[in-house]
């Protein structure tokens, strides 16, 4: 499945996590991180929002691995 939206991967990860499918959740969180695209943000405000979302996603990945 190819989807360019990190948000859709994030939602898949959350659903997988809630179902106890931790390996899938980690995989989906990592895909969302890859697609977060900070470098594609066109201004400082957008870049900051992407960074905040990226850090939130990373925190979710850490939670699922511990």
DSSP 43: S
Residue 48 pLDDT: 81
Q: Residue 25 is encoded by which pair of tokens?
A: 């959740």
Torsion of CA 17, 32, 41, 44, to 10 degrees: 40
Beta carbons of 17 and 65 less than 8 angstroms apart: no
Global pTM reads 0.61
The domain 6-65 is placed in CATH, from the list 1.20.58, 1.10.4100, 1.10.287, 2.50.20, at 1.20.58
- The domain limits of the chain are 6-65
Q: What is the pLDDT of residues 4-55, one digit of tens each?
A: 888 899 899 999 989 999 889 889 988 888 887 765 666 777 778 877 877 8
Residue 22's pLDDT is 86
pLDDT of residue 59: 83
CB atoms within 10 A of CB 44: 8
Rounded-to-integer distance, Cα 19 and Cα 65, Å: 15
């Amino acid at each position: 499945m190819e989807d360019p939206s990190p948000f859709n991967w994030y939602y898949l990860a959350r659903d997988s996590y809630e179902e106890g499918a931790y390996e899938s959740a980690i995989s989906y969180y990592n895909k969302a991180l890859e697609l977060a695209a900070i470098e594609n943000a066109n201004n400082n405000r957008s870049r900051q929002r992407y960074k905040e979302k990226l850090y939130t996603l990373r925190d979710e990945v850490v939670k699922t691995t511990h």
